[in-house]
A and B are shown apart, each in its own frame.
Chain A
Amino acid sequence: MATVSIDTISKRYGETVVLRDVSLSIGDGEFLTLLGPSGCGKSTLLRIIAGLEVHDGGSVSIGERVVDHLRPKLRDVAMVFQSYALYPHMTVAGNMALPLRMRRLRAWQRLPLVGRMLPGTRKADAEIETEVSRTAKALGIGHLLGRKPGQLSGGQRQRVAVGRAMVRRPAIFLMDEPLSNLDAKLRVQMRAEIKELHQRLGITFIYVTHDQAEAMTLSDRVAVMLDGELLQVAPPQEIYADPDDRRIAEFIGSPKINMLDAIAREHGLVDVAGTTLAIEADALPGTPLALGIRPEAFQLTEYGGTGALTGAVRLVEHMGSDLFVHLDLPGADHPLIARLLAERAPTITPGQTLHLGVRPDRVLLFAPDGRRLRPRRDAVAPVTSLREYGR
């Protein structure tokens, strides 16, 4: 029905390449998020799907239909803008009715005064009004229909923008950073409402954001974009735990993943920060590697040595249930950040020497060019030498 397929789309503005051969296919009813830092081309890609921007190469299909040369209104898509883009001179009802009026009424029926007298206008207008008020009620803005956008709060405007997009039942729902103008609390609430909306409507959603929390909580799949390239498309959990590229690992996760310089050695060992970890790296001995460890992948151990990182505590941040411990490692230019459970960690004070055990299966290895080096399946060696008493 309403699948979307994007085939080697490219786009440049003058000399700047905005999109580099992006291909992606989105299933019917899927919630797909385009995630990336600002300037990565995600909004441009969304606008190309909507037909607001013309691409230089490749093609976009919606359903089975190639839509490259169709105007936005013929593509059966609706869009919610970051600024909401509500018409300030129209009431909420007028805003929501506009897409229906444009489709169902002819030009002369839309004329002020005269239009009302033409045959059929009244009936069509009445139907539109019914549909608008039904949609407004479903979104909890039924009581606001007579107001103008200037009289509404940010959250209400957002709902009106969603209502305007929803009212004509499009095949695809496009959202361009719809929550970024809201305050933090409202953003979490609207996030849940968007999720519910998707479940209720069951249509395809394409959602653009730079906020990883939105991407992780809302999506069926996340497409991570950087510098005009699509790096990985996968379910949120996989993006987090099993990234294809160093840049993805660094972009996703807060606090940021720890990246350490390491050297591959023989026999499934890796030298890092003055210690040796038993990790099977798919690289020639002597290759410089980047070793990524998520802050929560550490465990406190009693002893240093092989399989553990040792450093001096620089700073401790109490986050309630968790502790963020900043650790200076010998030979590392950034402090390492470890996230430890507060109740299991004894009092840690700055200056103290700490040993952190690392589970090899939680370590992500990256080649010098940023490509992920996945462990060979047969070579994941269980590590038994660690005596752990908490992470």
Chain B
Amino acid sequence: MKNRRLRSNRLMETLAAWVLVGPAVALLVVLFFVPVGAVFLIALTDWQFGARTLNFIGLANFREVFSDPGFRASLANTVIYVLIVVPGTVLAGLLVALLIESGKSLRTFYRAIHFVPFMATLTAMAIAWEALLHPTIGLVNQTLGALGLPTANWLRDEATVLPVLAAIGIWQNLGFSMVLFLAGLKSIPRDLYDAADIDGADSWLDRLRTVTLPMLGPVTMFVVIVVALRAFEAFDTVKVLTQGGPGHASEVLLFTLYRESFEYLRTGYGAAVAVVFLVIVMVLTLSQARVMDNRVHYQ
């Protein structure tokens, strides 16, 4: 009797659990697992967007992706872009956060103006940057010229285009990392700074090394992961400003994906690029979390 009631209770609980997670599971499946599965399947075909027929061609798309110099250049560009944007954003965000936190006046104002680029539509901002970077009438070259410094055709020169795009990337993400670092700085217990003062770590560098930086570890991990992901997704500025040029000098993964899939309509090939992109991003996220977790959460 008692046993039966216990069993029916457990049944009810299981049922309730499924009802509660049901909507979330359904959404996950429809919006995430099914599309990802579809992309994997399409990557194994020669389907062209709009075509009525398709053939399974196995891993041919992947073989083509990895032997394509255009794709390799795109991958290399993406990696370089990420390697500039991530450290740049983290360091600049930390610096700005420390400066704002150490000052007393106008904190809200500084916080707001640094956060605006993150909130703004990047496509619109890219057009503004295009004007600034215009080789003859742009403010950047005008200023450099007036100061007697060498000017450049920033977006049309293979040597400068990627660093310039990365600089815009840093400019855009700076506000995001700054806000997170500000929150992190606020949560550091005052006692630790007092202890550091008494222990003799009272110069700004020693305080930074003994207390501030180690205590910002968890925030830094989060910022690095999120900014790295955002940098891998770079697309807007490339599409608006350079179309991947000159040559392939500023072609990045998402732009290649877009061009193959929606301009050349080679959907199967585009899907293979998407799979590669997905794998890179997943591996990166997991390994970053694993590596940094051990060094950052002090348990």
Q: Which residues of A contact B (CB under 8 A)?
A: 47, 50-52, 71-73, 77-79, 81-83, 85-90, 98-99, 102-103, 107, 148-151, 164
Verify A50–B198 contact, CB threshold 8 A: yes
Nearest neighbor of B214 in chain A, beta-carbon distance: A89
The answer to whether B299 touches A148, judged by C-beta atoms less than 8 angstroms apart, is yes
**A151 touching B299 by the CB < 8 A rule?**
yes
A72 touches B214 (CB 8 A): no
Residues of A within 8 A of B197 (CB): 51-52, 71-73
Q: What are 5 of the A-B contact pairs (CB < 8 Å)?
A: A71-B202, A73-B202, A85-B195, A89-B298, A151-B299
Q: How far is the CB of B294 from chain A (nearest CB, A)?
A: 12
The listed residue (A72, A102, A150) touching B298 by CB distance below 8 A is A150
Q: What is the CA–CA distance of A82 and B192 in the complex, to the nearest angstrom?
A: 11
Q: What is the bound-complex CA distance between A89 and B294, given in angstroms?
A: 11
* A contact residues around B85 at 8 Å (CB): none
Within 8 Å CB of B199, what residues of A?
Answer: 73, 98-99, 102, 164
On whether the beta carbons of A81 and B194 are closer than 8 Å, the reply is: yes
Interface residues of B in 201-227 (CB under 8 A from A): 201-202, 205-206, 210-211, 214-215, 217
Kindly supply a per-residue 1/0 record for chain B positions 177-206, scoring 1 wherever the CB is within 8 Å of any chain A CB and 0 otherwise: 000000000000101101101111110011
Give B201's nearest chain A residue, CB to CB. Answer: A102
Contact A88 B215 (CB under 8 A): yes
| CB-CB nearest in chain A for B206 | A102
**Shortest Cβ gap from B119 to chain A (Å):** 34
**Which of chain B's residues have a CB closer than 8 A to the CB of A77?**
198
> For residue B194, which residues in chain A have a CB less than 8 angstroms away from its CB?
47, 50, 52, 79, 81, 85
A72 touches B202 (CB 8 A): yes
B positions within 8 Å CB-CB of A? 189, 191-192, 194-195, 197-202, 205-206, 210-211, 214-215, 217, 298-299
Interface core residue of B194, B201, B211 (most chain A CB under 10 Å): B194
A85 lies within 8 A of B299 (CB): no
A-B pairs with the 9 shortest C-beta distances? A102-B200, A85-B191, A85-B195, A88-B298, A89-B214, A73-B200, A99-B199, A150-B299, A72-B197
Complex CA gap A164/B195 in Å reads 10
Q: How far does the alpha carbon of A150 sit from the alpha carbon of B197 in the complex, in Å?
A: 22
In the bound assembly, the distance between CA atoms of A151 and B298 in angstroms comes to 9
In the bound complex, residues from chain A placing their C-beta under 8 Å from that of B299 are 148, 150-151
Q: A72, A83, A103: which contacts B191 (Cβ < 8 A)?
A: A83
Contact A87 B217 (CB under 8 A): no
Least CB separation from A81: chain B residue:
B191
A164 to B217, CA, bound (A): 23
User: What's the least CB distance linking B220 to chain A, in Å?
Assistant: 12
Residues of chain A within 8 A (CB-CB) of B189 are 83, 85
Task: Say yes or no: B191 contacts A99, CB within 8 Å.
Answer: no
Question: Quick one: closest A residue to B199, CB to CB?
Answer: A99
User: In the assembled complex, how far is the CB of residue B253 from the closest CB belonging to chain A, in whole angstroms?
Assistant: 35
Q: How far is the CB of A225 from chain B (nearest CB, A)?
A: 21
Say whether B195 contacts A81, CB under 8 Å: yes
Kindly name the residue among B200, B202, B215 whose own CB sees the greatest number of chain A CB atoms within 10 A: B200
Instruction: Give A98 to B205 CA distance when docked, in angstroms.
Output: 15
List, in ascending order, chain B residues with CB within 8 A of A78's CB. 198
> Which chain A residue shows the least CB distance to B194?
A52
B290 to chain A, nearest CB (A): 18
Q: How far is the CB of B296 from chain A (nearest CB, A)?
A: 9
**Interfacial chain B residues near A90, Cβ < 8 Å:** 214
Q: How far is the CA of A90 from the CA of B201 in the complex (A)?
A: 14
CA distance A79 to B201 in the complex (A): 14
Contact indicator B198/A148 (Cβ below 8 Å): no
Chain A residues with Cβ below 8 Å from B202 are: 71-73
A266 to B195, CA, bound (A): 60
Question: What residues of chain B lie closer than 8 Å to A83, measured between beta carbons?
Answer: 189, 191
Residues of B within 8 A of A85 (CB): 189, 191-192, 194-195
Q: Distance in Å from the Cβ of B234 to the closest Cβ of chain A?
A: 33
The answer on a CB contact under 8 Å between A72 and B211 is: no
- Given A83-B191, A85-B194, A102-B206, also A148-B298 (CB < 8 A): yes
> Shortest beta-carbon distance, A166 to chain B, in Å?
12
Cβ contacts under 8 Å, B205 to chain A: 107
Residues of B within 8 A of A151 (CB): 299
Residue from the list A50, A52, A86, A89 in contact with B217, Cβ < 8 A: A89
**Closest chain A residue to B200, Cβ basis:** A102
Besides A47-B194, A71-B197, A79-B194, 18 more A-B contacts (Cβ < 8 Å) are A50-B194, A72-B202, A73-B197, A78-B198, A81-B191, A85-B189, A85-B192, A85-B194, A87-B195, A89-B214, A98-B210, A99-B198, A99-B199, A102-B199, A102-B200, A103-B200, A107-B205, A151-B299
